[in-house]
Amino acid sequence: MTSDIMVRSREPLDIVKYSSICEQQKLLQEIPRDDIKKIVDAIIDRGVHLIESDVNNEFFYKNPYYIPKHVDFKEKPAGKSISEHIGSSFDSSTDESEAEDEEEVTFQQEWITIGNFDFVTAIHQLTAFVEKWELTPPTKFVVIAQEFAEEVKPFGHRYFAEIHFSKPTPKCPNPLATAKLNFHINICSYLPTFYPIMITYKFEGFKTMYYAVGERKLSSIKFQRYLIDSILHMKLAFYAELWDCRNPLKPLEKRKKSGF
């Protein structure tokens, strides 16, 4: 630092630049302190209002990784075109080749940062995150996502993804009942770029919001299966009742054939 100052002190004086700095200093000195205080207070009030408006902490949250501010970010990796994934699903039960496994993004408890955000990478991390859950055998899931961002004023942008859970069997490879989870990928426009993205999700038919990042994140990887199984059970029970209502004579026909 001292050497830089010494080098600059030996350079020829830039009269134009020096005079411009002097003019700016004069203008700052002419501004009353009360006016400066009002400007600063307005900025602070605006920030407090934004944070308090985000009641669910979907866009404003503490950094769980405590990454220093001076960290250098690498350029975004050249990922696959999102057009290759639109309308497609990522099946957790599909065996990938060794080459594809090497390229696959594994979830290491740290989500991609806001500054390095890439939708395809975020979806791969989301898939790896759900793969860690301890689900009831033989539960399978697919991830369905399209790169569509909704602007959430004044906070930032939100991306969407769905995960469908089901229990296929050899007799019924395409099960009737599926349990859906809706995921939100929130990108705040105000947080530092070294902050991780925020991931929240809700189970179909339930209002509780769960967090995959930050202080509200649940460390359990078992509770999810109970909600998923409950949704599947309720749907199957409903479909069974619906079938009985549409076919009221079926039991009577069985009774007659059995001789009763």
Check whether residue 145 and residue 234 sit in a common domain.
yes
The pTM of the full predicted model, rounded to 2 decimals, is 0.67
Query: For residue 243, with 0-12 CB atoms within 10 Å meaning exposed, 13-18 middle and 19 or more buried, which class applies?
Result: exposed
Q: Identify the three-state secondary structure at position 68.
A: coil
Q: Which pair of structure tokens corresponds to residue 119?
A: 């939708």
Model pLDDT for residues 114-137, shown as the tens digit of each residue: 999 999 999 999 999 999 999 998
Q: How many domains does the chain have?
A: 2
**Range(s) of the domain holding residue 30:** 15-53
**pLDDT score recorded for residue 78:** 40
Check whether residue 239 and residue 133 sit in a common domain.
yes
Q: Is residue 41 part of a domain?
A: yes
**pLDDT score recorded for residue 133:** 94
Q: Is residue 48 part of a domain?
A: yes
Among 228, 206, 209, 207, smallest CA distance to 217 is for 209
Model pLDDT for residues 140-196, shown as the tens digit of each residue: 999 999 899 999 999 999 999 999 999 887 777 777 788 999 999 999 999 999 999
**pLDDT score recorded for residue 101:** 41
Q: Is residue 121 part of a domain?
A: yes
**pLDDT score recorded for residue 175:** 79
Check whether residue 49 and residue 154 sit in a common domain.
no
Model pLDDT for residues 80-95, shown as the tens digit of each residue: 433 333 333 444 333 4
Check whether residue 135 and residue 228 sit in a common domain.
yes
Among 84, 76, 79, 201, smallest CA distance to 146 is for 84
Domain boundary among 27, 53, 79: 53
Please state the rounded mean pLDDT for residues 235-252: 65
Q: Which pair of structure tokens corresponds to residue 222?
A: 């078992």
Check whether residue 45 and residue 134 sit in a common domain.
no
Check whether residue 120 and residue 240 sit in a common domain.
yes
Please say whether the beta carbons of 16 and 24 come within 8 A. no
Backbone angles phi, psi at 78, to 5 degrees: -75, 90
- Could you give the percent of the chain with pLDDT greater than 70? 64
